[in-house]
């Protein structure tokens, strides 16, 4: 098992929104980072967006230009999975069990037995993903929140076979990257997504039943103290991602009605209206 002091290189599998944020966080903390994605154009996009994020930090006086350049220089953008060899790997790929199991089987085969493997899944049971591994004791959930370079919370999820040593190492790692870690067992939605699910589900039910409109619901929730309304937040997270998590939790609880996914959200996904990243979701972002 790699101790936290021996972790020098972080691998991040998946260069989407979450993967970009996680890579930036780790590089900012001084780690060497290998950011992998099967789609090479996505790596170019990731580099552009991470650079943009760092530039915003420079403009706000949170970083100096040379510090920004050093952070970016610590990230290697890698399209070859065989080069994704590290002391700790954080997977941030699609919310699909088969995809994750196949990916981790490959990562386990090309890394040493001391490498800690983790998933950033929002809702898929950690134990199910670990079932594809020969050494599930060194596997855990490491769930960051969007935007990862800003949000302080990280959930550390123990699967059935996750050892105390693995969890303890991840706790220290989270401290080193400036995050607040909370420990949770492997339960559908873990803590945050299980509790927060009704923020979205109930808002969608109000919309389905024509109780109120999107703008009013968002405005009322912000007036109640929330920083973002449920529809604004779904657009930020990704309507498709949010829908996938709701569906996963709904099925994990054996179709418990209170977690039922929304037909309206399904239609948004079918239409490709996935929020800010696609230019349109519950709101229109086509004009910037």
Catalytic residues: 122, 143, 155, 193
Tokens read off for 44: 């170019």
Q: What distance in Å separates the CA atoms of residue 61 and residue 242, rounded to the nearest whole number?
A: 33
CB 92 within 8 A of CB 62: no
Q: What distance in Å separates the CA atoms of residue 287 and residue 112, rounded to the nearest whole number?
A: 48
Q: Which alpha helices (H) appear in the chain, and where do they start and end?
A: 17-28, 40-59, 65-73, 97-110, 126-130, 164-176, 192-208, 214-223, 230-237, 239-252, 263-270
Tokens read off for 46: 């990731």
Task: Count Cβ neighbours within 10 Å for each residue of 240-263 and write b for 16 or more, e otherwise.
Answer: bbbbbbbbbbbebeeeeeebebbe
- 3-state DSSP call for residue 190? coil
Q: What distance in Å separates the CA atoms of residue 269 and residue 255, rounded to the nearest whole number?
A: 20
Using alpha carbons, select from 107, 112, 182 the residue that is nearest to residue 142: 182
């Amino acid at each position: 098992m790699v101790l936290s002091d021996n972790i020098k290189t972080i691998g991040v599998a998946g260069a989407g929104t979450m993967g970009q944020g996680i890579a930036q966080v780790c590089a900012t903390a001084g780690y060497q980072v290998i950011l992998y994605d099967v789609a090479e154009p996505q790596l170019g996009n990731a580099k552009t967006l991470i650079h943009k994020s760092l530039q915003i930090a420079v403009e706000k006086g949170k970083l100096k230009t040379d510090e920004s350049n050093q952070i970016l220089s610590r990230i290697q953008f890698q399209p070859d999975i065989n080069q994704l060899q590290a002391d700790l790997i954080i997977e941030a790929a699609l919310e699909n069990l088969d995809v994750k199991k196949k990916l981790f089987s490959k990562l386990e085969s090309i890394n040493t037995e001391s490498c800690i493997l983790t998933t950033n899944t929002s809702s898929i049971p950690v134990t199910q993903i670990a079932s594809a591994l020969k050494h599930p004791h060194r596997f855990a959930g490491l769930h960051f929140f969007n935007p990862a370079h800003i949000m302080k919370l990280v959930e550390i999820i123990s699967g059935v076979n996750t050892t105390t040593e693995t969890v303890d190492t991840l706790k220290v790692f989270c401290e080193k990257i400036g995050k607040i870690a909370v420990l949770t067992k492997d339960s559908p939605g873990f803590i945050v997504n299980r509790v927060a699910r009704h923020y979205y589900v109930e808002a969608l039910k109000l919309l389905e039943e024509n109780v109120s409109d999107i703008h009013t619901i968002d405005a009322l929730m912000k007036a109640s103290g929330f920083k973002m309304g449920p529809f604004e937040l779904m657009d930020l997270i990704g309507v498709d991602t949010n829908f996938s998590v709701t569906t996963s939790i709904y099925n994990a609880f054996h179709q418990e009605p209170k977690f039922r996914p929304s037909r309206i959200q399904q239609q948004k996904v079918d239409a490709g209206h996935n929020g800010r990243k696609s230019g349109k979701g519950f709101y229109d972002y086509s004009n910037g």
